[in-house]
Amino acid sequence: MCGDETSCGLRDDGTVACWGSQDLGRSSETFVRIGVGSGVACGIRSDGTLSCWGDTRWRATEVPQGSFVQLNVQAHGGCAMRTDGTATCWGDNYFFPSGAYASLGAPYGIRPDGTLVALRTDNQFTLPTGTFVEVSGESTGGCGRRSDDTLACWGNNFTERLNPPSDTFAQVSLGFTLACGIRRDNQIVCWGDDSDGQSTAVSGTFRQISTSGAGSGGSTEGTHACAIKADQTVQCWGDVGMPFPGISVAQPAATFKQVAAGPRHACGILADDSLACWSNTYSPSGPPTGSFTRLAAAGFDFTCAILSAGALACWGDLPTGLPKSPAGSYKAVAVARTHACAIASDGSLSCWGENTAGESTPPSGSFVAVAAAMSFSCAIRSDGTLACWGDNTSGQGSPPAGVFVDLAVGTSMEIPSKAHGCALSADGKVTCWGDNSVGQTTPPNQTFIQLSAGDLHTCGLSVGGQLWCWGLYARQPL
């Protein structure tokens, strides 16, 4: 996270390191999310409470009480969203108009009816009217996405950053000298300063996608995805277009048949059916040798794959109860942070690992596909109907009726009970269920051929080879 003259990073163990020309001091606590502003840094602890440190003027470190899931830090203060959807701000020039809020993009908020509200007393700008579903801003201006997916921007027009193209968008993000958005046709568009190529967006068509997140790892690092391009090479990306540390440098220059992204590493099946794994922040044990046909979504620090002969092999830091080579012959496998499930050659299900919510106690019957997330799993029966088991706090264990050909499940990295699933029918339509706090169960009206779910988001590959993502991380490059 970058502030005015300071940057801070969140280590694997949850501790924070800050550097730059502003001495913010140090926090000895651990966090799951951090934010940096001018002279102050803040973090959300694992229990959802807030802590700020740095310049104590302007009451920038006097944080509100409660449990929070979203954090925006600006100059001398910030705003945060509670677990119940309400929000509050603190520090200099924040007054937080009373009433309910649907989302925050400090220093602006969106009411439940879609109107924009300024959260600072020193706001100098006239906000546009209309119904908005997303806002991104900073002290010198903002951009909002209307309910019809068009954009409106306001503030100081440095480098023409407030002149968006007349397209429809799925997400928008405003910086000090440029802005970027993801169009509804899955292409990235940037406008404003391009002196270093920062407004030149990525593009391409893809064949397969794997998203990381709590569904496969439960880590704050799980906000990235990898996809196989039309030329069979792999492209990986992370939050707001920045390649994530575990992939961007060490990924092999090769062609792939399948790829799986984990929170701290990724693995793929190469064109010769062998395995390759790579990471910059974690050193996973080497994958087994042999010829492989199926690769599971990578777990937190482990991965499982099926050899050509049907044997199941798992490697890395395995959760308790998961053997390296489970006995039997298998045709499908799925892994989560602390458990794994696989479909045997006869269609029966087996699960191993943690079973606190019943996630490792699968139903009987014959199955053709399986997906696993923290504390619950789902599978497609031979007749195409769905079955789920484990935690059902958000309705994730109660799938819809119907006949389906593919499925994906995900869990919030901060609140594991916030979980969801999506399934694909034979006509290419997607049906989702469970928690929808950030739109992760509201898919676009497209025809899809494959699904993948991570943290509070879901991605799908359309028939035209384009990637579509919805939910919290829909803003990532596609």
How far apart are alpha carbons 263 and 258 in whole angstroms? 17
**Which of the four pLDDT bands, split at 50, 70 and 90, describes residue 24?**
low
| Percentage of the residues of the chain whose pLDDT score is greater than 90 | 22
More confident: 162 or 94 = 162
Q: pLDDT, tens digit, for every residue of 138-190?
A: 778 889 999 999 999 998 876 677 888 888 888 777 766 667 677 777 666 77
Inter-residue long-range contacts of 266-271, CB under 8 Å, 24+ positions, other chains counted: 266/210, 266/212, 266/226, 266/236, 266/298, 267/295, 267/298, 267/303, 267/305, 268/226, 268/234, 268/295, 269/293, 269/295, 269/305, 271/232
Q: Considering the chain, what is the average pLDDT of its residues?
A: 76
Amino acid at 456: L
How far apart are alpha carbons 400 and 214 in whole angstroms? 22
Bridge partners of 200, per DSSP, are none
Averaged over 305-327, what is the pLDDT? 80
| Percentage of the residues of the chain whose pLDDT score is greater than 70 | 71
Residue 271: φ, ψ to 5°: -60, -25
Least confident range of 280-289, 302-311, 344-353 = 280-289
Contact 65, 35 (CB under 8 A): no
**Which of the four pLDDT bands, split at 50, 70 and 90, describes residue 197?**
very low
Averaged over 407-424, what is the pLDDT? 84
C-alpha distances in angstroms, 54 versus 25, 28, 38, 184, 248?
6, 13, 9, 41, 32
Residue 266 has pLDDT above 60, yes or no: yes
Residue 93 has pLDDT above 60, yes or no: no
How far apart are alpha carbons 143 and 155 in whole angstroms? 9
Q: What are the tokens at 421?
A: 């699933």
DSSP output for 147-213 = TTS-EEEEE--GGGTT---SS-EEEEEE-SSEEEEEETTS-EEEEE--TTSTT------EEEEEE-S
pLDDT of residue 4: 40
Spatial CA neighbour of 55 closest among 36, 28, 69 = 36
pLDDT of residue 245: 36
pLDDT of residue 262: 63
Domains and CATH numbers, the chain: 1-94 (no CATH), 111-201 (no CATH), 206-471 (2.130.10.30)
pLDDT of residue 177: 67
pLDDT of residue 99: 67
Residue 119 has pLDDT above 90, yes or no: no
Q: pLDDT, tens digit, for every residue of 209-218?
A: 565 543 333 3
Q: What is the DSSP letter of 376?
A: E
Spatial CA neighbour of 71 closest among 86, 82, 85 = 82
